[in-house]
Amino acid sequence: MNDQAARLRARMQSVLGEAATRESPVGQAKVIAVGSGKGGVGKSNFCVNFGLALARQGVRVLVMDTDVGFANIEVLLNVTPSHSLLDVLSGRRLADIVEHSPYGLSFISGGNGLFDSSALSLEDYRQLLDELRGLCTMYDVVLLDCGAGVNEISHQLIAASDELILVTTPEPTSMTDAYAFMKFLVHRSGLPMTRVVVNRALTFAAAKRSADTLIGVTTRFLDVRIEALGYILEDPAVSEAVMRQVPVIQHAGGSRAASCYLQVAANFVRHDVKTPRVGVSGFFDRLLGSRLRKGGRDSGHSA
């Protein structure tokens, strides 16, 4: 069994080496995980409207719904996906599984078996990486709608991403959960570049106070620097848009919330740091490759 584990590790290194050789650093899509310390803060709504606002800035955006068991993106866009990312393994091309909403935002359903299972074979893994390289040329930003709170799937997705956008509200419980969420990530794998969005704030002043508080305690107690990306004001137009299954920037373009989303997107485009990024296939290298390597270690251990 030790020999089998060694062979598995050698094959994995070969696959990863080929991926690194073929992957060009030019034009890689930036992979951004969108997470929250608790549910009910508007994370999926943020993904949809932020993605559309970025698209209006000329950014090519794809949203990947990775919140297993909660298909929020497709509900908010009123689109029922025909396929998921898992269909790539059965021979579907990338163009077949990308869904296009009437509002110009593309998304992919992650599929229940991809992010909560380590059952992929090396050939499955290689096939998935080969197909996903196309995303690096088709899109500039891939937004991952991660599950709320601390769970192993979200942790792995965030650890493999280029950046984390943490969505919170000014409520004390939401702020506490956001801090606990970051503390968990820091202790488990380290925190990627993180920017905070305060959602459902009554005023910009209240939103800024909340962001400053979260930044302060994170710097002091976790020794990690995070930044504020922007603020979304409380607006009844958001609830109306959700009921109609239409993004608020489409449903009520002149509303306070819509203006806030456009401003947050402008902040992102203006201050986006052009640092080296792993890109989409690099993201899956880290996400899925770590599981295969773990499988190799487990095999060796069981000998």
pTM of this structure: 0.83
Q: Tell me the C-alpha distance between 46 and 43, whole Å.
A: 5
Say whether pLDDT at 2 is over 60: no
Say whether pLDDT at 194 is over 70: yes
Report the candidate in 277, 172, 243, 186 with the shortest Cα–Cα distance to residue 214. Answer: 172
* pLDDT > 70: percent of the chain: 76
- Give the rounded distance of the alpha carbon of 258 from its chain centre: 21
Q: Tell me the C-alpha distance between 25 and 29, whole Å.
A: 10
Say whether pLDDT at 201 is over 60: yes
Q: Burial level of 217, CB count in 10 A (0-12/13-18/19+)?
A: middle
The pLDDT score that the predictor gives to residue 282 is 72
Top-confidence range, 41-50, 268-277, 290-299: 41-50
The pLDDT score that the predictor gives to residue 4 is 42
Confidence of residue 283 (pLDDT cuts 50, 70, 90): confident
CB 30 within 8 A of CB 273: no
pLDDT in tens, 77-125: 999 888 887 788 788 887 788 999 999 999 998 766 665 555 566 777 6
